[in-house]
């Protein structure tokens, strides 16, 4: 298989393959290999059915089979530009119109254990990827690369002291839409990156991420991989206590199955209290992050935080973000 980001082809193990319908179609099955580390897609079966299109068809027609996520009910297939490029460079040379249907037999089941629904992805897993090999966000090598990227950004003669740290692909996409720069995508090693940014001379740092990730910082958790630390429900309940919520409201937060559900139920009960709690969360992220950096040195870097919701809207910001990045959401 030819890859967009490397010169040498990659051999993909195929565990089963067959021609169908007199050779007009073909079905192949492979398994996902996410590399070392924990990943819920390990050994996930991937079925791909390819068929010749009618004579009038050109290019590729991609279909979301069972277990593959779409953008809303009946929406478009959730596929990254990299994944689409990968398919096109390997199939378009056949010089005939093709229909490609991807099926993930356990995709819908596994999607329930992800945040897909929070970003409008329904019915399964998205075909997302930005490189040939899995980038392990909890691995030391990933931290090393982020620190190298940070050094390159801050070492640029045109660097003026402002930096936006984005958490995850959705945060990166939203930051680009908001025309924020310079941007640095960070994985789960947020603590070391914050300190390194202060050491590198960053003056104003903005943390931009989904509330389900940034809430961990509000609880003093600065390595955010879910296999290493969680505590989101406990942090949210503690923030509710600080915000003066009633015992009934605190119990609602504590027993919700997710942060999303907690805020949704609280908003239905009392919208003003829910908004107050959101602002308390953004403030806590700023304060705990500032305190974390202060443990390792005396720097002038100020840290702001902006959180986006499950609809991918930038909505809540702490006071530092409002002061130093006030144009972001206006």
The residues facing 317 across adjacent strands are 306
Is residue 101 located within the same domain as residue 147?
no
35: CATH: 3.30.2110.10
Is residue 75 located within the same domain as residue 214?
no
Residue 284 inside a domain? The answer is yes
- Say how many domains are in the chain: 2
Residue 62: give the domain boundaries.
Answer: 16-125
304 pLDDT exceeds 80?
yes
pLDDT band at residue 233 using 50, 70 and 90 as cut-offs: confident
Distance (Å) of CA 205 to CA 29, 44, 180, 286, 289: 46, 39, 12, 10, 11
User: Dihedrals φ, ψ of 109, to 5°?
Assistant: -65, -45
Cβ-based burial of 93 (10 A; exposed 0-12, middle 13-18, buried ≥19): exposed
Q: Which of 125, 148, 166 is the last residue of a domain?
A: 125
Considering all CA atoms of the chain, what is the largest pairwise distance in Å, rounded to the nearest integer? 72
CA triplet 303, 309, 313: central angle to 5 degrees? Answer: 85
Is residue 163 located within the same domain as residue 85?
no
pTM: 0.64
Residue 3 inside a domain? The answer is no
Is residue 58 located within the same domain as residue 166?
no
Residue 82 inside a domain? The answer is yes
Q: Can you give the pLDDT at residue 136?
A: 47
How high is the mean pLDDT of the chain? 84
pLDDT tens per residue, range 150-200: 999 999 998 999 999 998 777 888 888 888 889 999 877 888 999 999 999
d(CA 81, CA 130): 8
47 pLDDT exceeds 90?
yes
Q: Can you give the pLDDT at residue 328?
A: 46
pLDDT tens per residue, range 77-133: 888 888 888 888 888 888 889 999 999 999 988 888 776 776 678 888 888 765 555
d(CA 210, CA 271): 20
Residue 135 inside a domain? The answer is no
59: left (phi over 0), alpha (psi -120 to 50) or beta: left
Is residue 146 located within the same domain as residue 180?
yes
Is residue 113 located within the same domain as residue 198?
no
Is residue 315 located within the same domain as residue 215?
yes
Is residue 214 located within the same domain as residue 243?
yes
Residue 330 inside a domain? The answer is no
């Amino acid at each position: 298989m030819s890859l967009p980001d490397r010169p040498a082809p990659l051999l993909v193990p195929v565990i089963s393959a067959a021609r169908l319908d007199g050779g007009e179609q073909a079905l192949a099955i492979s398994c996902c290999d996410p590399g070392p580390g924990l990943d819920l897609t390990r050994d996930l079966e991937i079925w791909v059915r390819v068929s010749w299109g009618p004579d009038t068809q050109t290019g590729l027609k991609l279909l979301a089979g069972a277990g593959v996520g779409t953008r809303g009910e009946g929406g478009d297939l959730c596929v990254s530009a990299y994944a689409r490029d990968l398919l096109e460079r390997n199939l378009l040379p056949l010089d005939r119109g093709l229909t490609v249907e991807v099926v993930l037999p356990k995709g819908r089941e596994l999607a329930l254990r992800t945040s897909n629904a929070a970003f409008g992805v329904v019915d399964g897993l998205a075909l997302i990827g930005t490189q040939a090999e899995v980038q392990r966000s909890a691995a030391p090598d990933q931290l090393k690369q982020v620190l190298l990227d940070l050094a390159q950004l801050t070492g640029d003669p045109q660097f003026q002291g402002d930096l936006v740290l984005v958490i995850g692909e959705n945060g990166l996409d939203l930051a680009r839409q908001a025309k924020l720069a310079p941007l640095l995508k960070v994985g789960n090693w947020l603590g070391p990156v914050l300190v390194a940014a202060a050491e590198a001379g960053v003056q104003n740092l903005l943390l931009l991420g989904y509330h389900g990730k940034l809430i961990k910082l509000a609880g003093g958790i600065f390595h955010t991989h879910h296999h290493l630390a969680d505590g989101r429900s406990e942090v949210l309940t503690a923030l509710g206590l600080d915000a003066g919520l009633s015992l009934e409201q605190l119990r609602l937060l504590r027993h919700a199955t997710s942060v999303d559900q907690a805020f949704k139920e609280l908003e239905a009960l009392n919208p003003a209290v829910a908004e107050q709690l959101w602002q308390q969360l953004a403030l806590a992220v700023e304060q705990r992050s500032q305190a974390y950096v202060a443990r390792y040195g005396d720097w002038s870097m100020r840290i702001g935080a902006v959180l986006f919701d499950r609809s991918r809207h930038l909505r809540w910001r702490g006071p530092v973000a409002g002061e130093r990045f006030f144009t972001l959401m206006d």
